[in-house]
Amino acid sequence: MRGSALVTPLPSVSRVRGALLPLLLCAGLAVSATACAEEKPDPDKGTNGVGKLSAKAIEARARATADAATAVRLSGTLVSKGGTFKLNMRLKEDGGSGSVASKENTFELLRVGDDLYLKADAGFWTQKEGGPDGAPSTPTKEDVEAAGKLGDKYVKVPEGDPAYNDFRGFTEMDVLLEGLLGMQGKLSKGDRTEVGGLRTIKVQAEDGVGGVLDVSLEGKPYPLQFARAGGKGVLALREWDLDFELAAPSAGEIVDYGGKLPKSSGDRKP
């Protein structure tokens, strides 16, 4: 047919607009750079920001926060040359209270200022170290009689007794934190996880062999958990800056043994 030509029908305006709109949003609006790229969640959103720091800086910030704290509850296991101990201590600057358990016995400690009290059952006071053959020695009649008076009572530990500083060390907040939270080796950042319902970031020394510290990403960057180097125990740190009452036992609960504890107690240093 003369003058005739094939005519391709044009799409409707609405169809064109519908097809182009996603392209305009995803390609034409390139000035927004990531308008249609899948956004990755920001792991530091809503945190205290320490996760952005280097491992060394995170560890330093956590230690500074712990040093400035007024109180803490420290619990978990502690492995030393003297054996394995389970700690559950509440600590602050002027004292502490709680329990220490070993394979052989359990005792409670309470320190108010310089006054240190020890509470244990009669078995604690009669138990002695083994002799040359390793077998425990049999308590004497005097030992049993003394233990009967001391068992389940708060015994005031004389400051001149050799065991005083050993027992007191479990109640010293600064001493325990300084001695137990040491990292050994090159630091690196580990996984982000949760401890006690709080988001944390791990700082590890020598890929974990030299210790692993979990630092809070919420609120102040408190240390919340520490796995000691060489498998020497795992400690939980809670109730930071939560004050608690310390008071000496009543007179009826205390036995003042005098200038020195029974030798049986001094034989078992923590």
* 8 A C-beta contact, residue 87 and residue 170: yes
In a domain, 145, yes or no: yes
pLDDT at position 153: 87
pLDDT bracket for residue 208 (50, 70, 90)? very high
Q: 171 lies in which domain range?
A: 50-266
* 8 A C-beta contact, residue 55 and residue 203: yes
- Residue-wise pLDDT for 100-147, tens only, equals 998 888 999 999 999 999 998 877 777 655 544 444 556 666 666 666
In a domain, 119, yes or no: yes
Spatial separation of the C-alpha atoms in residues 152 and 137, rounded to whole Å: 22
In a domain, 31, yes or no: no
Rg of the chain, C-alpha, whole Å: 32
The residue-averaged pLDDT of 148-171 equals 86
- Residue-wise pLDDT for 86-98, tens only, equals 999 999 999 999 9
In a domain, 24, yes or no: no
- Adjacent-strand bridge partners of 153: 120
Please state the pTM of the whole predicted model. 0.76
| Structure token pair of residue 86 | 């389970």
Spatial separation of the C-alpha atoms in residues 161 and 259, rounded to whole Å: 7
In a domain, 4, yes or no: no
Please, what is the average pLDDT of the chain? 82
The residue-averaged pLDDT of 169-176 equals 93
In a domain, 11, yes or no: no
Number of Cβ atoms within 10 Å of the Cβ of 262: 18
In a domain, 34, yes or no: no
- Spatial neighbors of 249 by CB under 8 A, at least 6 apart, are 110, 117, 154
Number of Cβ atoms within 10 Å of the Cβ of 126: 22
CATH number at residue 244: 2.50.20.20
Number of domains in the chain: 1
In a domain, 143, yes or no: yes
